[in-house]
Every structure is written in C-alpha cells, then in structure tokens.
Structure 1
C-alpha cells in the first residue's frame, strides 16, 4: 500500500482552528517535532494519527485523500486560463489548493457565480462530487424498500399497493398521452405512468415520487446549508437528483448489485440484463458504490453528445474534466459514436502521469416517429488502472502505463504541446509549437 502524505491538509485544518503546532500536537498526543514533520510531508500519515485527526477535527477519512482537491485544482487551472493568468503545473495547483483551500475557492468563485459559467446543474454536480457520488442514508432506505417489495415480477404490483395503502395514491399504468415518464396529480391522488416504460422504469418512477412523499424531511436536511448549493434553483434540482438516487437504490439495491457486479467482473451487459436496466443506468449506479466498509471500484461516469457536450458527469473518484473547454478528442468516449452499440476500450494516461481504463458505448434515446431526430449519447465508464484487472474489459489489453494513449483535460489546460489534435495553445502560450512531421497524419 502506498504511503499517505497529507501535510498540506493537516496544516490547513490546524490554521482553520487557529491552533499552534504545539496546541494541536497536545490534542493528538504527539510531539511538536513529529507534527512538524507530518505537516512538511517528512513523515507519512499513519492509521493511528489519521483516526486521531478525524476525531479532533470531526472530518471523514476522505478529507485526507490525495484526490480530494483535484477537481478544485482543475477548476483553478481553468480560471487562470480564462483570465490569462500564470501557468502552473497541476502538482503546484494541487499543493496550493491543499494549503489554501479558501483562497483557491475565492479565486474560482467569480466564475462560479457568473451564470455564463455556472448553473444549477454545475452546483448540483459539485454537490454530488463532494459526497463521492454516494448518499448513504438514501441508499440504505432504497435497499430496505427493495427488500419489502421483492425482486422483479411482482414488485411493481406490491409498490402500487403500498402507495394505495399508505398514501391513498392510485397508480395508472400505460398512459398513452404522456410526454414525460410520469405525472402526479395531487388533486385526484393519481400517478400516471407512460405506456412504454419497462418494469424497472416503472419502479424507478414510482420510487422517485415516493422520495418526495415519504422522505421530504431527509431531502431538506441533505440540501440545507450546503455550500455547493448556493441558489434556490440548485437546491430544487439537487432534491430531484437525490430522489433519483433513491430510486436507483431501490431498483439496484446496494448489496445485491455490488455482489453481482463483482461476481461478473463488472460485465455491464450482464448487470443490465439481471436488473432490467439500461447500459447507462447500470454505469451510473456503478459510480455510486462507496458505502463505508463495502466499497466497490471507484468509477467515473460520463455522458456526452456528438459535439462533446458532457450532460452527465458523476464520479466516486477524481478525473480531470474540463468545465469550460471541450474534452480531449483522443479520449475513447468520442470514438464510441464510430462503433454503434459496440464497447470501445482504452488505456489512457493523463499529463500528471495517472493512468485509467476507460470503456465507452453509444446509446440512443426514445424514438419520436419518422422524421424526428433521436437523441444519441456516448456513455463512458472509467477507473484507475490499478483496478483494471478486476474488470472483464481488461482482458487482452496492454495495461502498461508506458503504452497508454496520451490524453488531456482539454486544450486550454493541457500541457501536451506536441499533441497532433491540439486545437489552440495552452494557457500562457501565444502559439502552438509546430508538431513534428512524423507525428502528422498521412
């Protein structure tokens, strides 16, 4: 296991509490010199000291994760690029963010509050990212209800009966005139479900409605006074996202879903078939399996259209996504459209040296009849290369980081100057360095 150095985070916590090194050392029952070495990364963080820090500062272990501030550092790099600020390496930005988290937030805040840069969707995405895309209380409630209504077959009927008995709500199936998947009429106490929904989709829609009926207080608690949700629009949208999280936990209950995924080496087609869900839903659920003590692989989940617009971005870990710039065209996600329905695999290495296994597949939305366009998306699922051997998709691939495809977070903040696909110079550069002739496409 690699050693954990967290000097910057310990220093930031100590200063936030206005404690001297001597005072904190006393609280931790450590010598001042030992604490000084910890803060200067002269010593790694031990399990014992980690538990003491968690207790003294009332923080979770994830606070000391090396990846904790990567998303903020990436946004800081983009903010500097937008403002033509100084060019800094990602390592320097991470160190700065670790040591001065409030200052880093202050620098990126103007972009966050500008509606041209941030929206309620951006805020909600940050909210779920902060929670590592796992909301334990809702996850357990969904799993408990799944045990009550049972597995596919009779669960929709049992769910409808539960709504009738406990909430005096009638479920009307196969409504032919609905454009949305469901409609709740509070006056008639009826939930209408669109006629084309699968059994799993019917359960999902009923569970999403039940979240507001049975767990409104919890939704309020989870969204009140959250720094990532600074606007009323963000709070409202977050509640919708949380209700959908609860619904996914019902349709794909945590323990059974994780055990099946592990047993099948995370074969998404087999997972989709077993739980009656789409490829996209299975991928999204895989990115949420971070229950303390029963963690799954920390996946990244993305959904993009052909233009490279990322409409969904959830992660149980950290990947350098650009928020203001286009994504890397060398990324496997963009090749998925070329191979309709097939899974594209890629071992990809970022400029900071981190290597990942990515898979991607194109999917299509609901048809609206002849002459009407059908929505198309590419679904991507990725994980750190260290987790790759546990996935069926690693079979036959060269997992050596030195042989990986070289990709980046977006041209504005990507330092790869000799990239054949570079569209414009990186921040701080006036022009693109000429690409060697041998690297140009023939």
Structure 2
C-alpha cells in the first residue's frame, strides 16, 4: 500500500481551530515532534492518527484524502494546462493559500474583472460541501412541527399568519412567478397549478425569508460583494425550504432503503426529479452522511446552469464539458435514466446517471424549459445505488471522458473540438488522418 502524506490538511485543520502544534498534539495524544513531522510530510498519515483526527475534530476522513484537491487541480490545469497533474497536486497540498490567490487571478478576465457573483456563491456552497447544518436542522425542526406531509400546506399558511402576520392567498396568480409577496399588505400570492410539494416549498421559502433573515445574512456575510450576498441569501432560503419538504433524517433513511432510487424518492415526497437529485447532493451531516454526490444541470447547448458537489468532482469552469459525458446523451432518450461508468484522465472513476426534465407547458407557442440533470458519485460508492445493477463497474469498462477539450490531456479522442491549451498543434502534410488537433 502506498504511503499517504497529509501535512497541508493537518496544518489547515489546526489553524482553523486556532491551535498550536503543542495544543493539537495534546488532543491527539501525540508528541509535538511527531505532529511536526506529519505536518511537514516527513511521516505518512497512519490509520490510527487518521481516526484520532476524525474523532477529535469531527471531520470526515475524506478531508485528508488527496482526492479533496481534485477540483483545485482541475482549475489549476485550466491556468497551467501543460504542467503534470502530480505537480499541481503537490502545489495544492503544500501551498493552499497561494493556490487560492493564483486561481483568483487566473479567473479574472483580461480587463481585470473580478470573479462573478454566481461563481462566488457556487464556491461558497462548495466550501461547505453543499451542506449547511444550521439551516438543515431548522428545516427539519419546522417539518416536525408541521406533522404529516398532507397537513403541511395548511399548517404553514397558519404559521405564516400567526407567527409573521402574513395572509396566504392561493391561486391568485395564473401565470408568471410561483410566489409573490406584497410587503405593504403582508399578503403572499401563490400561482395556480402548483403541486402540494411545490406549495410547501414556496410557503417554507417565504417563512424562512421572514423568520430567519438575520441567519441568512450572517451565513452569507463572508461573501465579498453585495450582489453575491443577495444571491446567497435567496439560495440559503431555498436550501431551508428543501429541508422542510424533504427533512434530513427522513430522506436519508428512505434513500438508503431504496438504494437511492430517485423515482421512488420523488414519488414518496411528491417532488420532481431535479429537486430530488439536488436534495440528495446535500446529505452530508456529520455522523449521518449519505452518498457524496455531484449534481449538475445543463441545457442542449451544454451550458451548465447548476453545479453542486458534496465532494471534489473536477470539471473545467472555463473550457466547456466533455461531449462523451453521459449528461449530453440524456437528450437522446427523453424522460429515461441513462447510466455511465466514466474515467477521468487522472484515473479517477465515477458512476453517472442523467435524465431530461421539462417544465410544464405555459400555453400554445410558448417555449418550454428543458434540461438534462446529472447525478454522479465515486465508483467505490456505486454499489449503494440501484443504478449500479447490471453494470460492469470495473475501471477497465469505463468511458474515458475529460474536463473539457481545452484542458483535457487525452490523445486520440474522436470528439476533440479544440487542441489542448498550451500545446503546439502537429500538422502532417504527408498524411490524411482521422484525428483532429494532434499536439506535441
């Protein structure tokens, strides 16, 4: 078994708790010199020390895995496409603060514009592993108070009235937004045609916005711009509402008992396929974790409009996505789940599923929203999913995909649309070849 060094992760954990090496060594029952050697990668991380770190600091053992840097390595690859991944991984592990500054500079446009607000919010949730404990527990607590799902709509309307002085008017809107709140009259208008789960979500969203606004402000305060804080405020309210519709312990136990069968879960909670997938990607409560999923949503043009991850999946931010990825094939079989065992250039392997979702029709001649939703996990988690049934899960059977053509190092790819950035294109005047954009 290869030795695993985790000095940077241990040092980050210690500094995050404002501990000296002596303080941390005492909590771990280690000598200070031994901890110093661990932090400086002079000693490998043993299983005994790993379990002691996880127990004493309530941190997932995956925090010390080299895989946790996968996304950062992918982003560095965008900026330095010809540098070997191992060198990028070493740089990330040893100098995480420096790497953060390098990526911030690399993501700016030539005009020097800062990172966009949605990128900031996406990174905010990524750093939280897509799990906000305080909000999840508040949502679960409210759901418990409301009782059975069929009673929640009526009781939420009553709670808005009694707790917050808001009168709910159902079916006041026939088109447009699902929810409109009128602060001057303290009236909440809801659109006709919403399902029970959708009504619960919108009512919970409004309840959260009014009852927990200070908490949302506090949680989003680290974001650097007013615009990003506003986007995060709404996203946190939506997170709270999802926790009311699908309370943590209930959805986790139901997911485990059904082996994460999304259609059965959606039927159980009355939710849509996309909403259910999104909620599954948040089940990372310490001591009661679900499968760590990656969640994405894309349109036919390949634009990724949602991207959440409970772990370190690493698609390029700037170079598009791989045309061999299963999420693009989902449009070929509308409404059906498509599966794929996929391998990235760094030999990490995944199980992905994807399916199209459509918004309901709004009237003749009006465009209908259509997306493909993807849910993926590391291959070593695949047996927990019903979607692994009948698949060859061996790495040798995996479809080779990449992080987008400009960042992908794969040679001889039949779908390559652009040469790898930083490489010179090889032009052969003496032969006609099938391979496009050969590089050296």
Correspondence 1:30-429 to 2 at 5 A: 30=31, 32=33, 35-36=36-37, 39-40=40-41, 42-48=43-49, 51=52, 63-81=63-81, 87-114=82-109, 118-224=115-221, 226=222, 229-429=223-423
SS at match of 2:342: strand
The CA distance in 2 between the partners of 1:255 and 1:3, in whole Å, is 37
Give the aligned partner of residue 8 of structure 1: 8
Q: 1:418–1:433: 8 Å Cα contact kept in structure 2?
A: no
Cα deviation code 1:260-312 (max 9, x no counterpart):
11111111011001100000000000000001100000011000001110000
Q: 1:77–1:93: 8 Å Cα contact kept in structure 2?
A: yes
Q: Provide closer, same or farther for how the CA distance between residues 247 and 19 of structure 1 changes in structure 2, counting only shifts above 3 A.
A: closer
Structure 1, gaps ≥5 residues long: 82-86
The CA distance in 1 between the partners of 2:415 and 2:313, in whole Å, is 20
SS at match of 1:269: helix
Range that drifts further, 397-406 or 110-119: 110-119
Q: 1:50–1:61: 8 Å Cα contact kept in structure 2?
A: yes
SS at match of 2:341: strand
1:149 CA displacement: 1.0
Cα deviation code 1:148-178 (max 9, x no counterpart):
1122222101110111111111111112344
How big is the alpha-carbon RMSD for the aligned residues of Structure 1 and Structure 2? 3.0
Total equivalences in the alignment: 431
Q: Provide closer, same or farther for how the CA distance between residues 243 and 436 of structure 1 changes in structure 2, counting only shifts above 3 A.
A: farther
SS at match of 1:411: coil
SS at match of 1:348: strand
The CA distance in 1 between the partners of 2:382 and 2:55, in whole Å, is 31
Cα deviation code 1:328-357 (max 9, x no counterpart):
000000000000111100000111111100
1:31 CA displacement: 5.5
Give the aligned partner of residue 84 of structure 1: none
SS at match of 2:317: coil
Range that drifts further, 419-428 or 251-260: 419-428
Cα deviation code 1:14-73 (max 9, x no counterpart):
8999999899868864262574256326422444466469969x9876643433332222
SS at match of 1:302: strand
Structure 2 length as normaliser, TM-score?
A: 0.89
Q: Provide closer, same or farther for how the CA distance between residues 246 and 439 of structure 1 changes in structure 2, counting only shifts above 3 A.
A: same
The CA distance in 1 between the partners of 2:54 and 2:355, in whole Å, is 43
Q: Provide closer, same or farther for how the CA distance between residues 16 and 362 of structure 1 changes in structure 2, counting only shifts above 3 A.
A: closer
The CA distance in 1 between the partners of 2:319 and 2:184, in whole Å, is 46
1:223 CA displacement: 1.3
1:180 CA displacement: 0.8
The CA distance in 2 between the partners of 1:96 and 1:277, in whole Å, is 43
Q: 1:8–1:95: 8 Å Cα contact kept in structure 2?
A: no
Q: 1:149–1:155: 8 Å Cα contact kept in structure 2?
A: yes
Cα deviation code 1:64-108 (max 9, x no counterpart):
343333222222221235xxxxx2122221220111111111111
Q: 1:264–1:270: 8 Å Cα contact kept in structure 2?
A: yes
Q: Provide closer, same or farther for how the CA distance between residues 314 and 161 of structure 1 changes in structure 2, counting only shifts above 3 A.
A: same
Q: Provide closer, same or farther for how the CA distance between residues 256 and 37 of structure 1 changes in structure 2, counting only shifts above 3 A.
A: closer
The CA distance in 2 between the partners of 1:188 and 1:23, in whole Å, is 56
SS at match of 1:171: strand
Q: 2:294–2:309: 8 Å Cα contact kept in structure 1?
A: yes
The CA distance in 2 between the partners of 1:41 and 1:75, in whole Å, is 28
